[in-house]
Amino acid sequence: MSEELLIKNGMIVTGDKRETIIPEGYVRIHGERISEISEGEAKFSADTVIDATGCVIIPGLITAHTHLYGILLRGASLNIKPPTDFVQVLQRVWWPVDEALTQEDAYASALSAGADMLRNGSTFFADTYSGPNSIEGSLTEIARGSKEIGIRGVLAFEMTERNNPDEAHRGFQEGIRFIESYKNDELVSGMISLHASFTVGDEIVARAVEQAKQLDVPITVHTSEGLVDLYHNLEASGERTVERLDRLEVLGPKTVLAHCVHVNDHELDLIAKRRASVAHNPMSNMLNAVGVAPVPAMLSKGITVGLGNDGWIYDPFENMRCALTVHRLASGNPSIIGSDEIFRMATIEGAHCYGLGNELGSIEKRKLADIVILDGSRAPTPITPTSIIGHLVNTFSGRDVRDVIVNGRVVVKDRLLTQTTDAHVLEVSRKSAENLWSCLNKE
């Protein structure tokens, strides 16, 4: 018989279509699903009771695009010539990292980045892995690390032909194997991923599209993150990036385009027409100096936009704040985008990106119980139904995350992991990072 979990006495930000906010109420969870949300005092008990007095209860935040292995480079000092553009960042930093990654790194990064995201309020992530020398079994190792801490994720090996066609074929097979092996898992699932259109030919793209349709899974691709992608396609085919992807039938309701920085109105119209989604990564775009994605224009055209971290900063609250401010700066308009829109990008819109809007992204009856409880004691001004969304984007951060529930299970309690120990995560992560750094800095 499934256990019951009760969260009581907190302000509930449901994130539903009506944007319902309950000043003080409770959430009842039966097994892995929400069974009741109500205002007032709970007149019953449960197997587990969490008192959320003085706290805010929100949907688990959705990380629509990430690279878990990015955490292993945190603070690294690399013996490289400093890059001066995005292509050099790829060539001098990320592609050498990709080639150095091992199975152990895949596991360690999933454990470490997953723990970081959970502790900061993200309960779901979409990850693409790119290790040409650790392809076979890599996704299983990432799934092992993710399940060990209890986070939910959709995983893929990103296919690329930048080294040779065989690498893309092996990545293709690894992705299919994983999708079929984990199609009934309660926490992790698979998708198809292409690295970027400038590193794959038409044939492998067509195969990927056909396989995604047959398996009925999402497909994701880095899209015009840097100008190299746009210029490559213009030179090779006379098409802009999204035009080429549309010709190859990549665009569709199960397609997630990461970044979309260098896209024009025509390309946005194509994305909207095909009902594809965009995973916006504002902090990474700033870090790599690639530009600012035209997100306000995307929203005006009805394009679904989720919020990702691209493997850099795993605190979704920081990413929300960046998304709020960068578009105001870029447009010169302090009202171009609001806190309500940003919060939706970090919750329900991110879930819609992966066809999971009926399961995740809001606190509603019969949805999966992925919930975050925020300690409101540090807020300098009153937390009310009219101020709470502003607080979520402008006040709260990962340090305010007290408890996290994923699939009806408490995975963070009083800021500590419950499925494994924080000490174990730290030990595994530091050992893996030390070996990776040593490998990267060998002369």
Tens digit of pLDDT for each residue in 411-431? 999 999 999 999 999 999 999
Query: How do beta strands 304-307 and 371-375 pair?
Result: unpaired
Q: 256: which 2 tokens?
A: 């997630």
Instruction: Compute the average pLDDT of residues 196-223.
Output: 96
**What is the pLDDT confidence band of residue 200, given thresholds at 50, 70 and 90?**
very high
Q: d(Cα 121, Cα 62) in Å, to the nearest integer?
A: 9
Q: Does the pLDDT of residue 443 top 60, yes or no? A: no
Q: What is the CA radius of gyration of the chain?
A: 21
pTM of the model: 0.96
What is the Cα–Cα distance from 383 to 389, expressed in whole angstroms?
Answer: 9
Q: What one-character DSSP code corresponds to residue 400?
A: G
**Per-residue confidence band for 2, with pLDDT thresholds at 50, 70 and 90:** confident
Q: How far is CA 13 from CA 59, 159, 331, 387, 423, in A?
A: 7, 39, 30, 11, 33
Q: What percent of the chain has pLDDT over 70?
A: 100
Contact 147, 420 (CB under 8 A): no
> How deeply is 238 buried, as exposed, middle or buried, from its count of CB atoms within 10 A (0-12, 13-18, 19+)?
exposed
pLDDT tens per residue, range 58-80: 999 999 999 999 999 999 989 99
- pLDDT tens track for 223-282: 999 999 999 999 999 999 999 999 999 999 999 999 999 999 999 999 999 999 999 999
Q: Give me the mean pLDDT over the 185-205 stretch.
A: 96
Phi and psi at 390, nearest 5°, equal: -60, -40
State the pLDDT at residue 442: 82
Burial class (CB within 10 angstroms; exposed 0-12, middle 13-18, buried 19+) of 262: buried
Helical (H) or strand (E) element with 56: strand 55-59
Q: Decide if pLDDT at 26 tops 60.
A: yes
CATH fold for the domain made of 4-59+365-417? Urease, subunit C; domain 1 (2.30.40)
CATH number for the domain whose boundaries are 61-353: 3.20.20.140
Cβ contacts of 258 within 8 Å, gap of 6 or more: 65, 220, 221, 222, 223, 225, 278, 279, 281, 308, 310
Answer yes or no: are the C-beta atoms of 379 and 76 closer than 8 Å.
no
**Is the pLDDT reported for residue 54 higher than 80?**
yes
User: Would you mind telling me the total number of residues written for the chain in this entry?
Assistant: 443
Mean pLDDT rounded to a whole number for the chain: 97
Asked if 4-59+365-417 and 61-353 have one fold, the answer is: no
Buried b (16+ CB within 10 A) or exposed e, 147-161: bbbbbbbbbbbbbbb
Residue 1 has pLDDT above 70, yes or no: no
CB 205 within 8 A of CB 237: no
Helices (H), 138-191: 138-149, 165-181
**pLDDT (0 to 100) of residue 127:** 98
User: pLDDT, tens digit, for every residue of 314-358?
Assistant: 999 999 999 999 999 999 999 999 999 999 999 999 999 999 999
Residues above pLDDT 90, as percent of the chain: 97
**How far apart (Å, rounded) are the C-alpha atoms in residues 356 and 13?**
19
Please compute the mean of the pLDDT values over residues 290-308 and round it to a whole number: 98
* Per-residue confidence band for 376, with pLDDT thresholds at 50, 70 and 90: very high
Q: How do strand 33-39 and strand 21-30 relate by DSSP bridges?
A: antiparallel
439 by Cβ neighbours in 10 Å (0-12 / 13-18 / 19+) ranks as middle
The pLDDT tens digits for 104-114 are 999 999 999 99
The secondary structure of residue 313, as a DSSP letter, is -
- Cα torsion at 139, 141, 144, 149 (round to 10°)? -100
Task: Pick the closest to residue 352 from 392, 316, 303 (CA basis).
Answer: 303
Residue type, 45: S
**Strand pairing category for 55-59 and 4-13:** parallel
Angle among Cα 278, 281, 285 to the nearest 5 degrees reads 125
Contacts of 137 (CB under 8 A, 6+ apart): 103, 174
Residue pointed to by tokens 């595994």: 428
pLDDT at 68: 98
Tell me what the mean pLDDT of segment 367-377 comes to. Answer: 98
**E strands in 339-438:** 371-375, 401-406, 409-413, 416-417
Q: CA-based angle 109:113:116, to the nearest 5?
A: 150
Residue 156 has pLDDT above 70, yes or no: yes
The stretch 121-137 carries a mean pLDDT of 96
155's enclosing H/E stretch is: strand 152-159
Structural domain spans, the chain: 4-59+365-417, 61-353
The answer to whether the CB of 204 falls within 8 A of the CB of 159 is: yes
Q: How far lies 222's CA from each of 87, 295, 414, in Å?
A: 14, 16, 37
Q: Where does the pLDDT of residue 43 fall: very low under 50, low under 70, confident under 90, or very high at 90 and above?
A: confident
- For 49, other C-beta atoms within 10 Å of its C-beta total 15
